[in-house]
Structures are given as structure tokens and as C-alpha cells.
Amino acid sequence: MSTFYLYVGIILIANAFLCLYRAFRGPTVPDRILAVNIVGTKTLVILVLIAYIFRQAMYLDVALVYGLLNFIITTAAARYLETGKIRGDWERD
Amino acid sequence: MIEIIEIITRIIAMIFAVIGIFFFIVGTVGILRLPDFYCRTHAATKCDTLGACSILLGLAIYEKFSFDALKILVLFALVLITSPTMGHAIARAAFRRGLRPWRKVAPPPLIEETEKEAKAE
């Protein structure tokens, strides 16, 4: 059973490196943000698989924090792309 | 009896993992091959959400009733909520910054039509 999940993790890592190609040569900036977001989601799943393969429940907490950080990073990048601001109230300007 | 339940949960977890791998591969092909940013957002976000959610659900079923299964269900809910939100945020930001959607260019005329036009001229 653990060997099966090892193969699942290897396939996911190969997919993540294929997505990094789009982050390397995306024609526009949102393409790069989207590719990094996808790689982050795959890394989250790979962390949960690592927690199963090595029987370490600690990696589940790491995966939770990683998912929240991924969400915050992408939302902040999208907001900066849209308004040119990160902090402050931008709707009144 | 307990062994039969164990084998059934393992088979269900493997089926969910295979479904997740299929959707991850579809999302990767979409993000590499589609022509436009909006098409790529469509393919990548949808397939990525479904793939991650099915793999996590299979692992939670495999773990049965324990504290780890609860953590994995929290991760499942997190991915299910945040991934479409992120895709929508990026697409809206790109549209408001003025990135035009891709339009299919009209196909070139057929060879017979160009020959007729050449003869008519």
C-alpha cells in the first residue's frame, strides 16, 4: 500500500515540474501566478502523502500551514496586480 | 470480518487516488496546451481542485475514524474553498488590468477558392 502511494507521489512531482515550464515561459504575469498556485496545491498533496508513507503525523500540520500560505500569497499577488496596492483601502481612491 | 473491511477501504482509497491522478494529468495538459490565460485558468483550477480533493478524500477514508482523518478532512474543506477563490481572483485581476480574451482567427480560404479567384482575375 505504501509503495502505491510512493508511485502516486512520483507522478505528482513529475506533474509539478511540467507546470513549472509554464511558470518559466508564461507570456503574461497572471500565467506565472497561476502556475505557482498549481505547484503549491500539488505540494500540499505531496506533503500529505509523505505523512502517510513515513508515518509522521507532523507533516499534516505542515500541509495545513502550507495551504493557508498558498491562499494568502495568491490573493495578495492578485490584489497587487489589480490595484497596484497591497495595504490600505483602495476602493476610495 | 475486520480484514474484509480493511481490504475494502484500501481498494476505495486506491480508486480515489487513481481518479485524482487522472484529473491532475488533465490539468497539467490543459495548462501546457491551451492557447489563452483564461482557458488555462479554467482547466487548471477545476482539474486541480477535483484531483486534490479526491486524493485527500481517499486518504481520509483509508485512515477511518481517527484524529489524522479529521485533519485531512479540514485540508479537504480548505482546498475545496480556496482553490476556486484563487482562480477567480487571478482571472478578475487580469481582466481588470486589460488582458483581452483570446479570439479564434478566421481560417484561411481553401485552395480551390483561391484558385477560382486567381482565374477570375
Q: What percentage of residues in chain B have a pLDDT greater than 90?
A: 40
pLDDT level of residue B107 (50, 70, 90 thresholds): low
Provide mean pLDDT across the span B4-8.
88
Q: What is the pTM of this model?
A: 0.84
Which among A1, A30, A74 has CB closest to B94?
Answer: A30
Dist. CA B45–CA B24, nearest whole Å: 10
pLDDT of residue B109: 65
Residue A7 pLDDT exceeds 80: yes
For chain A, give the number of residues.
Answer: 93
pLDDT of residue B23: 93
List of residues 6+ apart from A50 with CB closer than 8 A = A9, A56, A59
Contact indicator for B43, B30 with CB cutoff of 8 Å: yes
- What are the CB-based long-range contacts (under 8 Å, 24+) for B7-11? B9/B61, B9/B62, B9/B64, B10/A1, B10/B62
Dist. CA B106–CA A76, nearest whole Å: 38
Nearest to B44 by CA among B28, B56, B20, B21: B28
pLDDT level of residue B21 (50, 70, 90 thresholds): very high
- Closest Cα of chain B to A30: distance in Å? 6
pLDDT of residue B119: 72
Q: How many CB pairs under 8 A join A and B?
A: 125
A35 touches chain B (CB under 8 A): yes
Q: What percentage of residues in chain A have a pLDDT greater than 90?
A: 48
Per CB-CB distance under 8 Å, the chain B contacts of A10 are none
Provide mean pLDDT across the span A30-49.
91
Per CB-CB distance under 8 Å, the chain A contacts of B34 are none
* Distances, alpha carbon A4 to alpha carbons A8, B15, B57, B84, B113, in Å: 6, 11, 16, 29, 58
Strands (E), B7-121: none
The count of other CB atoms within 10 Å of the CB of residue B25 is 17
DSSP string for chain A:
-HHHHHHHHHHHHHHHHHHHHHHHS-SSHHHHHHHHHHHHHHHHHHHHHHHHHTT-THHHHHHHHHHHHHHHHHHHHHHHHHHS-SSS--S--
Residue B110 pLDDT exceeds 60: yes
Residue with cell 475545496: B80
Reported ipTM:
0.86
* Distances, alpha carbon A89 to alpha carbons A3, A76, A85, B85, B87, in Å: 51, 14, 9, 21, 23
Residue with cell 497539467: B28
A32 touches chain B (CB under 8 A): no
Selection from A1-5, A51-55, B103-107 with the highest mean pLDDT: A51-55
